[in-house]
Amino acid sequence: MTLIKSISGIRGTIGGKAEENLTPLDIVKFSAAFGAWAVKNSGKKKIVIGRDARISGAMVSDLVSNTLIGLGIDVIDLGLSTTPTVEIAVPIEGAAGGIILTASHNPIQWNALKLLNEKGEFISGADGAEVLAMGESADFDFADVHNIGKISKDDSYVDKHIEMILDLPLVDVEAIKSKGFSVVVDAVNSTGGIAVPKLLKALGVQVKELFCEPTGHFPHNPEPLPENLTQISSELEKGKYDLGIVVDPDVDRLALLQEDGTPFGEEYTLVAVADYILGNQKGPTVSNLSSSMALKVVTEKHGCTYSSAAVGEVNVVEEMKKTNAIIGGEGNGGIIYPELHYGRDALVGIALFLTHLAKSGMSCSRLRATYPSFHISKNKMDLNPGVDVDNILSEIEKQYASKEVNTIDGVKIIFDNEWVHLRKSNTEPIIRIYSESESEATAEHLAKKIISDIREIIS
């Protein structure tokens, strides 16, 4: 059982002892800390909440809502919703912030509180540290009986979110409708089962729904990786569809499958959407250091500039604002389109991708073949507790000083047409080692070489 307190929120497994798991005591303590922080930071006494469909969601939602009203804060409860929908609702409501109750791609026993500022964006590292400190010190005052807040239910925001997407200039509804696309959707029995079919039907797409009942009983591991998507792949192999669409439980990650059931590639969701955006509007792009260099290649093909950020959505958003990027995200299928909002959003990704597919006149597999083909090898190395990981990274940096090295987030070594990125975990004694090359074998070889280097340093 696990409880992880981080600058982006609190997450853990349901049940067990307080301070070791995500128990009601932990939920109340950190909900109160965030509520007090949000009011102090904004001067507003309103917070938006929403949740995915996991089976602990109603319990967690009730605890959070009642804690917030106990602080004298009014709660706008969107109920079953998506992470990007809550992000959009916060500024529309003029709220002090938002709390999304989701453990994203984690299994069924997990839940979490994801924390948003008054812009509907994930709170910064400094703000997250302040919230954690307030939670540990219980530095907040509850309201007296005459000033308790109230809870209002509003289930209209998924529809509002979809309307905002349909109104985007680069979403061509008529072009999509004209193609008569037929699509299979796997929403892992969470809130994507509400939002994704509704969006697709508004776009005139025929939808075959797999696992779209928001029961919270995930039919497979909810992380949208190829090894977890055998059912939708089998359905696509029947040959009746143009595309497969998969989202994680809170609908901020988008994975696509080609018409034959093979993966489009989670790294290439962002690449394809960026290619479409850049073909219509020139501007910078951003992804994180562990994402495919295919985005850089496509960006430069359009005569635009690419930059990378530390891993983590808040870091990507910060770099996007700094560079005035018009599209960005992460290689796990996270699309951030500032024209709508600064947050990963599978729904806007779907609409932009389908517009691109419709206007290209190609099948999904033919479109994928137009992009440079790179292979990422994802590895991790377990270390003995007490090993000085920072020293290991410093030694690797010295060994490869003749190469281009980026140290804004771990150590990334950039070769001519490939790279290796090493990052330490904040919660486990491990080093994550990602490598990318045009050849799968070379990417694997690069990772093994770095692992060998690390072993020599330790020994």
Radius of gyration of the chain (CA): 22
Residue 253, helix vs strand vs coil: coil
Contacts of 398 (CB under 8 A, 6+ apart): none
Contacts of 17 (CB under 8 A, 6+ apart): 23
Q: What residues form DSSP beta bridges with 364?
A: none
Q: Look at the alpha carbons of 165, 344, 83, 313 in this order and tell me if their dihedral is positive or negative.
A: negative
Distance between CA atoms of residues 11 and 17, nearest Å = 14
Q: What residues form DSSP beta bridges with 423?
A: 432
Distance between CA atoms of residues 378 and 43, nearest Å = 44
Residue 246, helix vs strand vs coil: strand
Q: Which of 8, 61, 81, 104 is catalytic?
A: 104
- Does 104 participate in catalysis according to the annotation? yes
Query: Roughly how many angstroms between the first and final C-alpha of the chain, as a whole number?
Result: 32
Paired tokens of 249? 């439980």
Q: What residues form DSSP beta bridges with 459?
A: none
Is-contact 413 388, C-beta < 8 A?
no
Question: What Å distances lie between residue 104 and 51, 187, 324, CA to CA?
Answer: 10, 12, 28
DSSP assignment string, 220-241: S-SS--GGG-HHHHHHHTTS--
C-beta neighbour count of 398 within 10 angstroms: 9
Paired tokens of 203? 């776009």
Q: What residues form DSSP beta bridges with 97?
A: 47
Distance between CA atoms of residues 103 and 88, nearest Å = 19
Paired tokens of 23? 């128990």
Residues with a catalytic annotation lie at: 104
